[in-house]
C-alpha cells in the first residue's frame, strides 16, 4: 500500500468521508478531460474510489484508457497532493456497490433514477447505471508549502516501483521544474 493511507487517515478521509478532488482522464483524441469528483479511501481494496454514472464521459474514457490522474489541495495542511494510477471499473460486485450506493447523498441518488425516467424510485435500491471507479496509485507527488516561508516549500515524489520510498525531496526554490 502506498503512503496515501497516512495522508488520508490524517484527514479522516474514508469511505463515508470523501474529499473533493479534480481527476483527469484521456479522451479518444488524446485530449485531457478534468472534473471534480468525490474521492474516498476504499478499505476493501486498499485504493481510492469514485462513484459515478456509467453513462458519463469519464466512465467511457476509462473503459478505453484505464488511467486516472488526480489533484487535491488540502487547505488546512497547505499541501497539494497529486497522484496517477491504474483503474479498475466495478459494475458487478453487488455487495460492494450496494455499500457504495448507500454512501451517495440522497439527492444524487435521486438524479441517477431521474435520468432513467424514474423520479419516484425507491432510493435504497441501487440504480443499474451506478458504478465505482477504483484507482490504484502508482505515483504520488506531494507539494508541501511552508506557510512561514514559501521558499522553504518541498516537493516529494513517491513511486510504487521504488517501494514507496520518498524519491526526491527537493526545495522548490532550488528546482526549476517546481513552480
Ligand atoms: C462538488 C462536486 C462533486 C462532484 N462529485 C462527483 C462524483 O463523485 N462523481 C461523479 O461522477 N461526478 C461528480 N460531480 C460531477 C462531475 O464534476 C461532472 O460534471 C460529471 O461527473 C460529468 O463528468 P464527465 O462528463 O467528465 O464524466 C461532481 C461535481 C461537483 C461540482
Centre of ligand 1 to C-alpha 34, Å, is 10
With contact defined as beta carbons under 8 Å apart, do 18 and 38 qualify?
A: yes
CA-derived radius of gyration, the chain: 18
Q: How far apart are CA 38 and CA 81, in angstroms?
A: 15
Ligand 1 centre to CA of 29 (Å) is 21
Decide if 141 contacts 124 (C-beta within 8 A). no
Please give the number of the atom of ligand 1 that sits closest to the Cα of 39.
8
Report domain extents, the chain: 4-174
Residue 147 to residue 128: CA distance in whole angstroms? 46
Closest by CA to 69, choosing from 44, 28, 39, 29, is 39
d(CA 113, CA 83): 32
Counting ligand 1 atoms within 8 A of each CB, the residue from 17, 38, 71, 134 with the most, and so the one to mutate, is: 38
pTM above 0.85, yes or no: yes
Rounded to the nearest whole angstrom, what is the distance from the C-alpha of residue 50 to the centroid of ligand 1? 10
At 72, list the grid cell: 487535491
* 110 CB-near residues (< 8 Å, 6+ apart): 119, 123
CA 142 – ligand 1 centroid, Å: 24
pLDDT digit string (tens) for the chain, length 179 residues: 566 666 666 566 777 788 999 999 999 999 999 999 999 989 889 889 999 999 999 999 999 999 999 999 988 889 999 999 999 999 999 999 999 999 999 999 999 999 999 999 999 999 999 999 999 999 999 999 999 998 899 999 999 898 888 886 666 665 555 54
CATH, range 4-174? 2.30.110.10
Ligand 1 atom closest to 36 (CA): 17
Residue 173: all three cell numbers together: 526554490
Show the cell assigned to 154.
518541498
Amino acid at each position: 500500500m502506498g503512503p496515501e493511507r497516512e495522508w488520508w487517515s490524517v484527514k479522516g478521509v474514508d469511505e463515508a468521508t470523501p474529499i473533493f478532488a479534480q481527476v483527469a482522464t484521456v479522451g479518444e483524441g488524446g485530449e485531457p478531460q478534468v472534473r471534480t469528483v468525490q474521492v474516498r479511501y476504499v478499505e476493501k481494496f486498499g485504493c481510492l474510489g469514485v462513484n459515478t454514472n456509467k453513462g458519463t464521459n469519464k466512465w467511457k474514457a476509462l473503459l478505453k484508457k484505464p488511467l486516472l490522474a488526480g489533484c487535491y489541495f488540502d487547505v488546512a495542511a497547505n499541501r497539494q497532493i497529486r497522484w496517477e494510477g491504474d483503474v479498475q471499473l466495478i459494475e458487478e460486485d453487488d455487495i460492494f456497490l450496494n455499500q457504495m450506493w448507500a454512501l451517495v447523498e440522497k439527492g444524487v441518488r435521486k438524479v441517477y433514477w431521474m435520468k432513467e425516467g424514474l423520479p419516484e424510485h425507491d432510493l435504497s435500491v441501487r440504480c443499474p447505471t451506478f458504478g465505482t471507479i477504483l484507482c490504484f496509485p502508482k505515483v504520488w507527488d506531494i507539494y508541501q508549502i511552508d506557510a512561514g516561508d514559501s521558499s522553504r516549500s518541498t516537493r516529494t515524489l513517491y513511486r510504487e516501483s521504488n517501494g514507496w520510498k520518498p524519491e526526491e525531496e527537493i526545495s522548490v526554490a532550488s528546482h526549476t521544474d517546481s513552480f
